Amino acid sequence: MKSKIDELMELKKQRNAIILAHYYQDPSIQDLADFMGDSLALAQAAKKTDADVILFCGVHFMAETAKILNPTKTVVIPDMNAGCSLADSCPPEQLKEWIDQNPGHTVISYINCNSGVKALSDIICTSSNALKIVASVPESTPIIFAPDKFLGSYINRKTGRNMKLWNGSCQVHIDFSEQEVINLCAQNPNAEVLAHPECPENILDYADFIGSTTAIIDHAVKSDKNEFIILTEPGVIHEMQKKAPEKKYIPVPSMSGCSCNNCPHMRLNTIDKMIDALKTLQPEILMDEDIRQKALIPLERMLELSK
């Protein structure tokens, strides 16, 4: 009998498809991907592929970004309900009102937002290029930043800027227990603490290193330390274990009492749903062409500045 993995690989060949996956996917999905990356690397990979179909194993805003960059390709996602609390916190109509209340401001949006928000933005950033993107805006130009208030306040602290911040947050990164971080640091005094900038300031205060998922993984692999406390979605640990299996990686539990802190949206994707998506080319990412063209402009600006 054909295994599920054989079936998926056959379909991938028939469809001339590429599988792009984020590091927060279940390890079984990560192992099947043609390309893994953080949000920036996935956008860059989506732009450059010559496959006909992109099977995007991540959340909706990531697959939508691939479609904005690649309108002639079919972009499918295993589960259309794989959303994001940050993207959901910022409906385009409300952002438009905020922009109108702040004339003369440059609008920088974190890539974790929907296409309507991108279409209203001057430039997009990701966690890996946010400091560079903000630095590209003259000091004298005021900025409004959406939707992640924690990434925004991290950038404000690092750069001395005073960007106005949308009140959005990631439900995963806001939920790390500070007490657990304190306990784990006490129990593992030699461990380095690695954090994603979506964490609140009281959690980032414990971090020895702050960066995107790719930056966190690369740091753990290259570091001369052997133990790491991980303040981001624990999916990243799979790649760390592959690249540096001799080291110890310690996930931090959430405040809601879970032993892990998985992103419930990312984890909706499964191998069965990947097979269905390649069989049926559904659910497909589609969007209004006018919005797509407007959203492309700030995304292209970001990609140009990230070269």
User: Binding segment for ligand SF4 among 133-141, 199-207, 262-270, 278-286 (CB under 6 A)?
Assistant: 262-270
User: 220 and 240 in contact (C-beta within 8 Å)?
Assistant: yes
Report the partner that residue 171 touches, choosing among ligand 13P, ligand SF4, none (CB closer than 5 to 8 A by kind).
ligand SF4
Does residue 112 bind ligand SF4 (CB under 6 A)? yes
User: Binding segment for ligand SF4 among 101-109, 114-122, 251-259, 261-269 (CB under 6 A)?
Assistant: 261-269
Does residue 86 bind ligand SF4 (CB under 6 A)? yes
Q: Which of 25, 49, 85, 89 binds ligand SF4 (CB under 6 A)?
A: 85
Considering the complex, what minimum distance in angstroms separates the CB of residue 182 from ligand SF4?
23
The contacts found for 193-196 with CB under 8 angstroms, 24 or more apart, are: 193/228, 193/229, 193/231, 194/219, 194/220, 194/228, 194/229, 194/230, 194/231, 194/232, 195/231, 195/232, 196/127, 196/231, 196/232, 196/233
Closer CB to ligand SF4, residue 12 or residue 22? Answer: 22
Report the partner that residue 38 touches, choosing among ligand SF4, ligand 13P, none (CB closer than 5 to 8 A by kind).
ligand 13P
Considering the complex, what minimum distance in angstroms separates the CB of residue 148 from ligand 13P?
9
Residues 6+ apart with CB under 8 A from 196: 127, 173, 210, 211, 212, 213, 216, 231, 232, 233
Q: Which of 63, 84, 95, 107 binds ligand SF4 (CB under 6 A)?
A: 84
Q: Quick one: 224 exposed, middle or buried, by C-beta within 10 A (0-12, 13-18, 19+)?
A: exposed
Does residue 233 bind ligand SF4 (CB under 6 A)? yes
Give residues 21-60 in contact with ligand SF4 (rule: CB under 6 A): 24, 59
Residues in contact with ligand SF4, total (CB under 6 A)? 14
